[in-house]
């Protein structure tokens, strides 16, 4: 086990027993006593022994969302003394220096919203991002292949300096990891995988007192890991992605569908720097060109699975030609600047007179091309006794608006806040009524965004004359109606929880 916190867990049996049984509402000093005895050292590295051990919160999955939750818990006054364990076998979590600034940007990037940036600032992880490659953008242009309309958004439309920032996923993960490493917390990382889980078990009294019969919280969750070790916890957080094992073992059912679309992602290079986020809807799906710093941009190109495997296997030169074609005159004309719906020009937002621009030419492919199948998935329940889901474990969305991990960070923020509120009033943090408050808060926001993204995906999947005109009207509305434009920007930025019509 790689333990990120230099704190001794060699506590006495009595101390452990007492600590673990302290109620969640007790003061932070009591939470210090909830330290587990999981610091057995093996080959110089701490590890779980085969005896069951204990913690307050077990986060299964140390991806961006799981790490964000751990970071938020470690930096909030009421939760900073919780004994938090992150279970993930990803070797990146054991490598202190994930980033080599000489490498071209990784193809896996996220467009993070101003709300996410604020969250990272609040937990003290944004400084790290700013010290590594990232690209703020203050302009966004969206158009489609019919040539009937376009819309350009400016940060100044909502009196902001930026609309968002594009960051490599590994930089976001390292920022959170580094922040936790640099704090005195009780957060540990186990390089293992969840194998099985029993929720609400009566934990037997152990001779070493790790889980005692006298404990008022003896109904705990028990996790068994792939390395044969096991762990008792008050709360299991499933942050283990779209194929969540936690969700499956907890019997939390999902709804959803495959989009029969794949996304190709890669890094490309231009001859000069790009500062705008571009997105063009093509007959098979959108192509996005996102700045990622220096002269690099990231491509997220959605298409049919057959096209995706063809585009992935074509030569690099052919691919560059295909990208430039798709972002320029390919599939249809540029939108004209004439307004085919003059009655829609109700008000003039500051970017209203911005002319359509052609994105900068791509000159080189700078990374491998990676392919991801796309689907929508939503868990019917996010919470049950002693278990809760966050991030892609609870919901996966189409990447067309770059919202997936932003929704996950919203979950992490909300769950951390609800756990604090539970502790403040002395609740057991694994109890259903508390966890359902988190579910109610996040479900409404996540479902609203999912419905909008799914609507966009469907509206742009059909090439049909009247529908094309409707889409053009939508573009013009989004371009020329100031309140609508402002509302769209505020909602996409994460600053407004629901779209204007909800
Ligand atoms: C092409 C594409 C582009 C995207 N672009 C954007 C974007 O621009 N902006 C945006 O907001 N979102 C974007 N997304 C979505 C975003 O990538 C996901 O929402 C995000 O990665 C989810 O993070 P997560 O931590 O919830 O899950 P994951 O990133 O899937 O992490 C899950 C973690 O759990 C671990 N794990 C799995 N099983 C187990 C187990 N049994 N035991 C222990 N650990 C386990 C894994 O090792 C992994 O580390 C995009 C998605 C795609 C496909």
Q: Which of 310, 228, 275 is nearest to 47 (CA)?
A: 228
Nearest CA residue ID for atom 35, ligand 1: 61
Which of 399, 408, 412, 415 for mutating ligand 1's site (highest number of atoms within 8 Å of CB)? 399
**Ligand 1 geometric centre to CA of 498 (Å):** 23
**Ligand 1 geometric centre to CA of 479 (Å):** 32
Residues 217 and 26: their CA atoms lie apart, in Å, by: 14
pLDDT, position 472: 66
Collect the ranges in the chain with pLDDT lower than 70.
1-52, 96-98, 201-218, 337-353, 460-487, 489, 497-502
In three-state secondary structure terms, 216 is coil
**Which atom in ligand 1 lies closest to the alpha carbon of residue 64?**
25
**Which atom in ligand 1 lies closest to the alpha carbon of residue 65?**
25
**Which atom in ligand 1 lies closest to the alpha carbon of residue 111?**
8
Residues 130 and 414: their CA atoms lie apart, in Å, by: 25
pLDDT, position 292: 97
**Which atom in ligand 1 lies closest to the alpha carbon of residue 396?**
19
Nearest CA residue ID for atom 15, ligand 1: 404
Residues 312 and 135: their CA atoms lie apart, in Å, by: 26
- Buried b / exposed e over 359-383, threshold 16 CB at 10 Å, is bbebeebbbebebeebebbbbebbb
268 CB-contact burial (10 Å; exposed 0-12 / middle 13-18 / buried 19+): buried
End-to-end CA distance of the chain: 47
Query: What Å distances lie between residue 152 and 7, 110, 113, CA to CA?
Result: 51, 21, 17
227 CB-contact burial (10 Å; exposed 0-12 / middle 13-18 / buried 19+): middle
**Ligand 1 geometric centre to CA of 477 (Å):** 34
Q: Which of 70, 48, 67 is nearest to 57 (CA)?
A: 70
- Does residue 237 contact residue 70 with C-beta atoms inside 8 Å? no
Count of residues making up the chain: 502
Query: What Å distances lie between residue 223 and 39, 53, 234, 379, CA to CA?
Result: 17, 10, 11, 21
DSSP collapsed to 3 states, 113-124: CHHHHHHHHHCC
Distance of alpha carbon 226 from the chain centroid: 25
pLDDT, position 184: 82
**Which atom in ligand 1 lies closest to the alpha carbon of residue 392?**
26
Per-position DSSP letters for 254-278, written without gaps between them: EEEEEEEEEEEEEEEE-SS---EEE
Residues touching ligand 1 (Cβ under 6 Å) are: 60-66, 87-88, 90, 110-111, 193-194, 239-241, 245, 263, 265, 300, 372, 391-392, 399, 402-406, 408
pLDDT, position 157: 80
Q: Which of 319, 302, 310, 306 is nearest to 367 (CA)?
A: 319
Nearest CA residue ID for atom 20, ligand 1: 405
**Which atom in ligand 1 lies closest to the alpha carbon of residue 113?**
11
Query: Which phi and psi angles does 59 have, rounded to 5°?
Result: -95, 110
**Ligand 1 geometric centre to CA of 95 (Å):** 19
Dihedral sign from CA coordinates of 360, 366, 369, 370: negative
Helix (H) or strand (E) holding 301: strand 296-303
pLDDT, position 471: 65
pLDDT, position 451: 84
pLDDT, position 203: 53
CATH class, range 53-199+219-493:
alpha beta
Nearest CA residue ID for atom 38, ligand 1: 240
Token digits of residue 186 = 């009780």
């Amino acid at each position: 086990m790689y333990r990120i916190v230099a704190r001794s867990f060699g506590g006495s049996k009595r101390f452990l027993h007492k600590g673990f049984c302290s109620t969640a509402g007790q003061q932070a000093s009591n939470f210090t006593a909830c330290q587990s005895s999981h610091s057995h050292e093996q080959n110089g590295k701490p590890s779980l022994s085969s005896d069951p051990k204990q913690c307050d919160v077990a986060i299964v999955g140390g991806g961006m969302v799981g790490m964000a939750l751990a970071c938020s818990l470690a930096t909030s006054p009421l939760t900073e003394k919780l004994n938090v364990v992150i279970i993930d076998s990803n070797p990146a979590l054991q490598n202190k220096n994930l980033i080599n600034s000489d490498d071209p940007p990784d193809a896996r990037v996220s467009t993070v919203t101003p709300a996410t940036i604020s969250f990272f600032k609040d937990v003290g992880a944004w400084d790290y991002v700013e010290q590594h490659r990232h690209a703020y953008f203050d302009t966004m242009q969206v158009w489609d292949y019919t040539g009937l309309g376009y819309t350009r958004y400016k940060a100044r439309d909502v009196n902001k300096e930026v609309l968002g920032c594009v960051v490599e996923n590994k930089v976001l993960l390292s920022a959170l990891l580094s922040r936790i490493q640099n704090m005195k917390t009780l957060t540990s990382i186990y390089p293992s995988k969840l194998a099985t889980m029993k929720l609400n078990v009566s934990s037997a009294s152990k001779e070493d007192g790790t889980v005692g019969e006298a404990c008022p919280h003896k109904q705990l969750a028990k996790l068994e890991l792939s390395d044969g070790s096991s762990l008792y916890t008050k709360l299991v957080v499933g942050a283990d992605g779209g194929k969540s094992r936690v969700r499956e073992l907890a019997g939390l059912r999902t709804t959803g569908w495959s989009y029969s679309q794949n996304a190709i992602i890669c890094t490309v290079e231009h001859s000069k720097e790009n500062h705008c986020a571009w997105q063009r809807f093509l007959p098979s799906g959108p192509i996005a060109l996102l700045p990622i710093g220096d002269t690099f941009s990231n491509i997220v190109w959605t298409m049919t699975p057959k096209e995706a495997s063809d585009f992935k296997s074509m030569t690099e030169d052919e691919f560059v030609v295909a990208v430039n074609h798709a972002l320029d005159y390919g599939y249809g004309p540029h939108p004209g600047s004439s307004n085919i719906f003059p009655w829609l020009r109700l008000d003039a937002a500051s970017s209203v007179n911005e002319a359509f621009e052609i994105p900068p030419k791509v000159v080189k492919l700078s990374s491998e091309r990676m392919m991801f199948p796309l689907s929508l998935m939503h868990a019917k329940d996010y919470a049950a006794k002693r278990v809760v889901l966050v991030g892609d474990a609870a919901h996966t969305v189409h990447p067309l608006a770059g919202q997936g991990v932003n929704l996950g960070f919203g979950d992490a923020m909300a769950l951390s806040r609800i756990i604090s509120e539970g502790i403040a009033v002395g609740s057991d943090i694994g109890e259903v009524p508390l966890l359902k408050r988190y579910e109610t808060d996040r479900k409404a926001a996540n479902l609203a965004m999912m419905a909008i993204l799914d609507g966009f995906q469907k509206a742009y999947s059909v090439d049909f004359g009247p529908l094309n005109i409707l889409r053009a009207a939508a573009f013009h509305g989004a371009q020329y109606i100031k309140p609508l434009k402002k509302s769209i920007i505020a909602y996409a930025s994460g600053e407004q929880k629901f779209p204007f019509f909800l």
